[in-house]
Structure 1
Amino acid sequence: MPNKKRKSDNHNFTGYMFISPFLIGFFLLTLYPILYSLYLSFTDYDLMSSPNWIGLDNYRRMFTGDATFWKSMEVTTMYAGVAVPIRLVFALLVALALNKIVEAAGWYRTLLYLPSVVGGSIAVSIMWRQLFGNDGAVNSFLAMLGLPTHSWLGDPATAIWTLIVLYGWQFGSSMLIFLAGLRNIPKTYYEASSVDGAGPIKQFFIITLPLLTPVILFNTIMQVIQGFMAFTPSFVVTNGGPVNSTLLYVLYMYQRAFEYFDMGYASAMAWFMLIIIAILTGVIFKSSQYWVHYESDSK
């Protein structure tokens, strides 16, 4: 009996040794920073001196004394509310087209996925800034056609739309997930509906769309989170301008933390965004019972 217990203890020790890199990384690099940022959100901390406890002052200031905070919330909500549906719809349309292609399908998938691989990089954001600059390729093309040019990044009415187009251009990951979902729908459903006289459009609404709703749910949640956490395009392409028209929430949080050295306030902003994303995710999950269809539901 003692020998069995000793062997069991040895096996447990070996198992913990194998997962120790993950445990160390999780507790030191994930859990501890998260909890420490919660503490900092109740302090006045400038990175130079020790944190000074001020209670709820950061949150009070955020909601009642910072107009730029509400501007960043407005810009981010508009950005995510428009860009996420555009990306999802475009990704679904491309996935539907690719699902019909048999020859060289792998090459098409690779080419269409490339923007998502490099889309979040600094280099692509710089390229986007050059494209929509006053002397960029977009204005050059318009001038070549004899059409009026425009200051796309200098006009508050159009600057945010350049970022939305950039977000929609990076549809590759959502497209692949949609494509995987389409490949899992049995072809017998389409064959049976064809016998009953259903055309492609009717098949889409009575077969494809209902059976794809679990994938739509997953993609929607992931893209909403990504949309509200967007940072690089706003930082590189427009730096929040002009007149804060592209000041996304995470960019403003970055400015408070590393330009104004107001780390306590930035931590409070981070926790508020965490709550917002959690609420949105919960609402999407709650609403899914009314529009998400699972095959097991019909059994």
Structure 2
Amino acid sequence: MNVCYALPPVRGKLTHAAPLAPLVWFKSGGAAEWLFEPADADDLATFLYALDPAVPVMGLGLGSNMIVRDGGVPGVVVRLGKAFAGVEQLDATTLRCGGGASGILVSSKARDAGIAGVEFLRSIPGTVGGFVRMNGGAYGRETKDILIECEVVLRSGERRTLQLADLGYTYRHSELPAGAIVVSATFRGRPGDPAAIQVEMDRIAAAREESQPLRSKTGGSTFKNPEGHKAWALIDAAGCRGLRRGDAQVSEKHCNFLLNLGNASSADIEALGEDVRAKVKAQSGVGLEWEIQRVGRFAEGAVEERIGVEK
């Protein structure tokens, strides 16, 4: 990757040509031109303020719902580490959570504090920043149901607090500004009994274990549920359960999950998703929309039309 711009000094860690495959669940894809792991929110804000505005910036959480294309990601990928993984109880029903905190940690802290209504985060393999950006949800609840406000660092370096109404939430979508990094979020639940909360968390964990290929290299739920439909049912009806393209496969356990069986490239995985979309459209007339985020550049020499990738 050619570097044609100067980077501001940082207190955190800045790595050139950092492989991203080890950081995402599919274990495929290229490198980040630069990977920045800020020391704290001030370090992030100062860096973005001084960074050339033409340089793209992307946030990375657990990489559980993402395809990193084989040509890598230009610009700067920001990954929030331990400094952003704290969870603080503000009152009897309210938690302030760092943008890098996992759903398991947040739901566990809520349980310990006797805060119900947050259990669903136990089932989402991601971080608070991703939940806020994508209105992450499961088992009948979404981030919008518990979010009070979030603090973000904009691409300009400005720190801003956004209220729930500012995010324009719809199904698996927010209007968070491009390049903004969520550094914290405030969630509110309701009073509950820790033992009862644990029972619900166990129920959710068991249901997820039974129905999803959790021990595979996967990317989570691949397509959004169209209005009035379940994506998995449309995929199954189109005969796609078990469909393969190289080492990329549609899961036989839950066919709205794609798997990397071994050495699938990101191009293989993405193209398989497009195969599924085409078959579902032909069989049912329904156009599936990607839920998985697809980022970066195609490998040199790759042709989008050849692999059938949606533009």
TM-score, normalization by structure 1: 0.22
Larger Rg: 1
Structure having the higher strand fraction is 2
Structure having the higher helix fraction is 1
TM-score, normalization by structure 2: 0.21
